[in-house]
Chains A and B, each alone.
Chain A
Amino acid sequence: DMEQNNSLPPFQGLASPQGAMTPGIPIFSPMMPYGSGLTPQPVTNTNSLSLLEEQHRQQQQQQASTQQGGVSGGSGQTPQLYHSQTVTTTTLPGNTPLYTTTPLTPMTPITPATPASESSGIVPQLQNIVSTVNLGCKLDLKTIALRARNAEYNPKRFAAVIMRIREPRTTALIFSSGKMVCTGAKSEEQSRLAARKYARVVQKLGFPAKFLDFKIQNMVGSCDVKFPIRLEGLVLTHQQFSSYEPELFPGLIYRMIKPRIVLLIFVSGKVVLTGAKVRGEIYEAFENIYPILKGFRKTT
């Protein structure tokens, strides 16, 4: 990576003359595959898309004067793209995109006002538990790698022994300090059992291993809401919590504050929840997000 930056950055010598803000000729005209163009112009109301946008704006004005709240029976409405459950829409400042939404639900996903009777009925499944434990003694990793069947150790690549057991099907990273990380279990109890087994293996290899400060560090769950989701709409209404960059990743990254959970939401309706220390946080986070996702289930 450093080699790439060996030469001077490509912008040297490209500074425009003093006072020239918009050069008359393009200074830099590569084939830019990502479409910024040499003359990018923000979308205005008078551009060539005005026909569709004009229709859309008229729809917004009509909706603002018609019924409020909830999803109407559809009369007087036109197909709305990335629309939430509301009928009123607002345009973003300086922009009149075709896909507009309006937040009906509060912007904070902390505890949406969802009565208990409207529980989703979907229970996220735990997929991975990461835990740590202190074996309480220094370890000779070369000895462990030599004498254990299920161990691999490549100090040039990583400074820990990678050990695996069959049941529970897990992987452990064992460090020379005596600290150990256990991953791959499907429940907290399985993770604890697996960590104990690894500790027993290390004991059998001749080290005075203990089992100190076992702690669940991270829990990952997943579920499926069974309907497709308009991610573009969700990122507009929950901007401060969402990150949706389809150029980088197909899912929307939702950082919930309470509980402090990160959700990966995909267009198919599949949701991954991670960052929990207890499983209740996973369930709570899903119950918080479900009504929000339902709002983006339909295009109207």
Chain B
Amino acid sequence: MVGTAPFPCRTTDYLFLTQCEGWISQNAVYFNHVWLAIMYHFLQTGIHRVRALCRILRLTFLMEETAETHFKQAYEHPNFIRVSLQKKEVLAGCCVLATCRQHSWPIAMGTICCLLEANPRLIGVVYQEMVKTLKIEAPPTSIINLLETHCQAYKLSPQHVHEELSESSKDLTKRAAVLLELAADAWLVTGRQPIPILTASIFLAWQSLKPTQTRLKYTLARFCQMAKVTKSSIAPKRVTELKEVLCKLGQELPWLRGDEVTPQTVIQMVDDILNHRLTLLRRALSSHEEALASESVLPPSLEDSIPGSHTNTTCLEGAVSSQTPGQTPKDPFVGEPDTVSVQQQGDVDLTCTVVMEGLPHTGPGTDSQHSQPSVPNSGKRSLFEPPSVRYAKIRRVLVPVVEVTGDEEISDSEIDSYIRTPQEIRDYVEAKEALASSDDEF
């Protein structure tokens, strides 16, 4: 005899199916075999979904098999067997994503979101749960690997756009890769969404490969429309940031003779900037160090008192160490593109240059015995710094932490201040009734 739980009513297919799951599990004694059959049905549906995703993404047969195996293992695991159907759908995409990462197949999580039309947060949750459950190692896709596939989405071949605006995917990828690497060096990539910076790199690469007036007049939005890619609201900010970096390097080009490089004029110089990137970086860092050194001089007594701090000398290893005293601070500009031999002359540290500590002071709320001086982030004093360091949020003023034991006497007056008086209670009840009656009227 069937249990007394009411049978779910058929409202929608999905609701019906999920309620079936719940109802059947309540009457498990009688419908255990039915439940198993339904689970097997959903498993097969999920496997079909995995296969479809693999074919859409044109994965290899081996990858398809791996994805199916992952899905079967995850689906039958106690962590996933009773999750909602929506999560099971997303699980299929997550298995495909994990497989792609294991095989270094460049694919963004957003692609799976798009294909499944699912919430990115849900995909993130299910993906992390799946990876933990199956104990698989799926290294995240590097942004540089995503670049090539991202470039292919841009319709810029001669059959799609005018010849003056067309660009081959190969050239575009090559130029964008260098720009992307520069962006990564300048801390524009870490901790940020990859797609907007990819879009920005490709846009600037396209403009700089043939910096004609026609191309320079194109805005990012118009470029995306032409190339038939989705516009990103964040990409314009990345374009601005990348141009700032290019301006800092372009400023060091010796043939400019001190002329200012603006975001409007820098595109024409991108070719030269990228060809001499390393030398320009070194020169820019040297100029920056000189500027910082001339700003303030730290008293010798304070240099060693700050934990983890550096002295007045730079942390720029190699670039400065390769210079002997007496040499001019800046490297002589060779005028030829940076080659491997030039690169070998020294490495460039963009994150740590001169660290000039301020005077030590104890901030409020410090609960340590030893007072820490207010040491600025070393990124703040370098030429390039993560934007979250440069534009740090204004901190709330910390209230001094009152030391308590937890067993203090609690005064009655303080507790009474949290209790309503009888009059307040009456007023509150009257107000509530008045509100309730006015709601009924409407």
- A residues bordering B, Cβ < 8 Å? 1-6, 9-11, 14-16, 20-23, 27-28, 30-43, 47-49, 51-52, 55, 58-59, 62, 71-81, 92-95, 97-99, 120-123, 125-126, 146-150, 165, 167-169, 186-193, 196-197, 200-201, 204-205, 224, 226-232, 235-236, 239-240, 243-251, 266-269, 297-300
Contact = CB atoms under 8 A, between A and B. Distances in A.
B152 A37 contact: yes
Contacts of B146: 35
B148 A43 contact: yes
B376 interface: yes
Contact of A189 (B319, B351, B386, B405): B405
Interface string B146-168: 11111011000000000000000
Contact of A22 (B58, B114, B365, B419): B58
Nearest to A13: B52
A268 B415 contact: no
A228 B104 contact: no
Given A125-B365, A267-B190, A299-B351, 17 more contacts: A5-B85, A15-B55, A21-B60, A31-B229, A32-B115, A42-B105, A49-B177, A98-B144, A121-B307, A123-B368, A149-B417, A192-B407, A196-B406, A227-B378, A228-B379, A228-B389, A297-B351
Contacts of A11: 48-49, 52-53
Interface string B372-401: 100111110000011011001000000101
Instruction: Give the interface centre of A41, A49, A197 by most chain B CB atoms within 10 Å.
Output: A49
A9 B49 contact: yes
Contacts, number: 359
Contacts of B399: 169
* Interchain residue pairs A-B with the least CB separation, the first 9: A74-B318, A34-B110, A35-B150, A121-B307, A192-B406, A36-B111, A189-B406, A37-B149, A95-B104
A80 B228 CA distance: 35
Contacts of A229: 190
B57 A5 contact: no
Contacts of A32: 111, 114-115, 153
A13 B383 CA distance: 55
Given A76-B344, A226-B376, A23 B178 contact: no
A239 B139 CA distance: 7
A49 B175 CA distance: 9
B111 A266 contact: no
A299 B89 contact: no
Contacts of B121: 248
B380 to A, nearest CB: 9
A193 to B, nearest CB: 5
Interface stretch (B1-9, B66-74, B205-213, B423-431): B423-431
15 contacts: A6-B12, A30-B114, A32-B111, A33-B230, A35-B150, A40-B57, A52-B177, A74-B319, A74-B346, A78-B347, A122-B372, A146-B425, A187-B401, A193-B407, A247-B108
B130 to A, nearest CB: 12
B308 A49 contact: no
A189 B404 contact: yes
Given A71-B317, A75-B322, A149-B418, A98 B142 contact: yes
Given A74-B318, A204-B415, A35 B351 contact: no
Contacts of B351: 227-228, 297-299
Nearest to B109: A247
Contact of A33 (B56, B229, B388, B428): B229
Contact of B419 (A62, A201, A239, A300): A201
Nearest to A230: B190
Instruction: Give the interface centre of B49, B52, B144, B191 by most chain A CB atoms within 10 Å.
Output: B191
Contact of B377 (A3, A189, A269): A269
A40 B105 contact: yes
B424 A149 contact: yes
A2 to B, nearest CB: 5
B287 to A, nearest CB: 18
Tell me the interface secondary structure of chain A in the complex. loop
A300 B318 contact: yes
Nearest to B389: A268
Nearest to A186: B401
Given A6-B13, A38-B152, A39-B152, A148 B111 contact: no
A26 to B, nearest CB: 8
A245 B318 contact: no
Nearest to B128: A243
B110 A40 contact: no
A153 B420 CA distance: 15
B56 A14 contact: yes
B321 A74 contact: yes
B51 interface: yes
Given A146-B425, A204-B419, A48 B173 contact: yes
A43 B106 contact: yes
A37 B308 CA distance: 46
A289 B152 CA distance: 40
Instruction: Give the interface centre of A149, A193, A246 by most chain B CB atoms within 10 Å.
Output: A246
A31 B148 contact: no
B71 to A, nearest CB: 14
B375 to A, nearest CB: 5
A268 to B, nearest CB: 4
Contacts of A245: 109, 124, 140
B315 interface: yes
Contacts of B415: 197, 200-201, 204
A192 B408 CA distance: 10
A40 B58 contact: yes
A109 to B, nearest CB: 16
Contacts of A251: 191
Contacts of A38: 58, 152-153
Contacts of B419: 147-149, 201, 204-205
A98 B181 contact: yes
A35 B61 contact: no
Contacts of A226: 308, 375-378
A92 B139 contact: yes
B12 A3 contact: yes
Nearest to A14: B52
B40 interface: no
B104 A31 contact: no
Contact of A247 (B137, B193, B230, B343): B193
A27 B191 CA distance: 34
Nearest to A190: B404
Nearest to B419: A204
Contacts of B269: none
Contacts of A249: 124
Given A99-B144, A250-B191, A269-B377, A125 B350 contact: no
